[in-house]
């Protein structure tokens, strides 16, 4: 893919899009940043791995009572059987490690029964049989974003694309990598730099050596990839098999059932999911858009939205949570141990 095509994919184009609920940038902020930090750090360069990618847990306690409504029905839907007694590679049975939690199954019950999802289950089974040990993340971690926070606990949604497709990186949380992975992927490095350079956030004196974002998930940040699986070393290999439809349904269901969620949408593919949110009105939720943190796009405005670097999207997210009584603010630091 050409440099121009990749830049367009990550949101570097200039085509105008319809206005959404976007928190605007403070024009004086770059000077305040410079005064506090000196020159803003240069975003990291693109690695060979991420240039090929489209993007490119420990369960928290859950409550059966929805803080914005009545007690949630946690009944587990019965899924259509696969042909010839075929067993799911995806952990969809309560007895399986990493199973999609009951609260999410209830929220998505009609979606899980649709024919496209049955076809997706069959596709993933075939891939796992054909490429044993080469489907990422491992089966028990595919739904880690969901096991980390139940639907009623979600306050922020960050949308990624493919899981990382190199060995030992993906573990079910968008942009996150397993503890001990080094060096960190460039997009994640830029995310952590943006947090460090945001004057509205507490000082983070050292560069994090850990890229596991489980601590964010435990605070109600849903780190949702558009596709939840990928074949090893083959970016986008599980696109257009049903995952996009499923994750669209996740965004729609959250947007419909809850209110005052903050959506951080980076790059054009994520921006497109914003239409699923704005259909519920321009005040029910908040959308904060920017270009993608990928080194190809991090410093470039995207379709009328600010560049990721310098956007202050993380502190703006906290401002909106507090404004809408959805606090406390998210602690965006990354602990040395997950």
The token pair at 8 is: 């367009």
- Per DSSP bridges, beta strands 230-231 and 135-136 are antiparallel
Distance separating alpha carbons of residues 230 and 134, to the nearest angstrom: 9
Residue with tokens 């049903």: 242
Query: Which residue stretches of the chain are H helix?
Result: 3-9, 29-37, 48-51, 102-107, 109-112, 115-130, 144-148, 186-197, 214-217, 243-257, 268-278, 313-323
Q: Which of 123, 119, 112 shows the shortest CA–CA distance to 231?
A: 123
Distance separating alpha carbons of residues 309 and 190, to the nearest angstrom: 8
Determine which one of 26, 73, 162, 198 is catalytic: 162
Cis peptide before 137 (omega within 30 of 0): yes
3-state secondary structure of 327: coil
**99 and 146 in contact (C-beta within 8 Å)?**
no
Q: Does the active-site annotation cover 319?
A: no
Distance separating alpha carbons of residues 142 and 135, to the nearest angstrom: 10
Distance separating alpha carbons of residues 117 and 240, to the nearest angstrom: 12
**212 and 338 in contact (C-beta within 8 Å)?**
yes
Q: Which of 9, 10, 1 shows the shortest CA–CA distance to 43?
A: 10
Contacts of 50 (CB under 8 A, 6+ apart): 56, 185, 186, 187, 294, 295
The token pair at 50 is: 């991420």
Distance separating alpha carbons of residues 8 and 68, to the nearest angstrom: 39
The token pair at 246 is: 């499923």
Q: Which of 203, 218, 204, 201 shows the shortest CA–CA distance to 147?
A: 218
**14 and 297 in contact (C-beta within 8 Å)?**
no
Strand partners, 65: 71
Q: Residues with catalytic annotation?
A: 162
């Amino acid at each position: 893919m050409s440099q121009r095509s990749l830049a367009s994919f990550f949101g570097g184009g200039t085509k105008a899009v319809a206005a959404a609920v976007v928190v605007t940038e403070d024009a004086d902020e770059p000077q305040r940043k410079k005064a506090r930090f000196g020159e803003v750090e240069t975003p990291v360069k693109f690695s060979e791995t991420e240039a090929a990618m489209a993007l490119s847990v420990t369960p928290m306690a859950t409550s059966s009572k929805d803080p914005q409504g009545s007690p949630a029905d946690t009944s587990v839907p019965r899924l259509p059987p696969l042909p010839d007694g075929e067993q799911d590679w995806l952990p969809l049975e309560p007895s399986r490690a990493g199973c999609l939690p009951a609260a999410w199954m209830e929220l998505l019950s009609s979606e899980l029964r649709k024919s496209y999802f049955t076809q997706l289950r069959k596709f993933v089974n075939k891939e796992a049989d054909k490429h044993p040990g080469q489907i990422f993340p491992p089966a028990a971690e595919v739904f880690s974003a969901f096991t980390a926070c139940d639907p009623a606990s979600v306050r922020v949604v960050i949308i990624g694309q493919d899981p990382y497709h190199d060995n030992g990186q993906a573990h079910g949380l968008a942009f996150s990598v397993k503890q001990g992975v080094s060096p960190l992927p460039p997009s994640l490095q830029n995310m952590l730099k943006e947090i460090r350079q945001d004057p509205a956030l507490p000082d983070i004196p050292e560069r994090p050596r850990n890229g596991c974002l489980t601590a964010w998930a435990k605070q109600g940040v849903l780190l949702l990839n558009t596709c939840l699986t990928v074949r090893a070393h083959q970016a986008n290999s599980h696109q257009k098999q049903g995952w996009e439809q499923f994750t669209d349904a996740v965004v729609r269901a959250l947007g419909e059932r809850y209110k005052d969620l903050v959506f951080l949408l980076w790059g054009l593919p994520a921006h497109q999911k914003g239409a699923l949110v704005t259909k519920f009105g321009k005040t029910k939720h908040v959308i904060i858009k920017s270009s993608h943190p990928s080194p190809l796009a991090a410093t470039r405005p995207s379709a009328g939205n600010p560049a990721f670097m310098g956007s202050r999207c993380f502190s703006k997210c906290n401002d909106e949570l507090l404004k809408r009584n959805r606090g406390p603010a998210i602690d965006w630091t990354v602990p040395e141990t997950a």
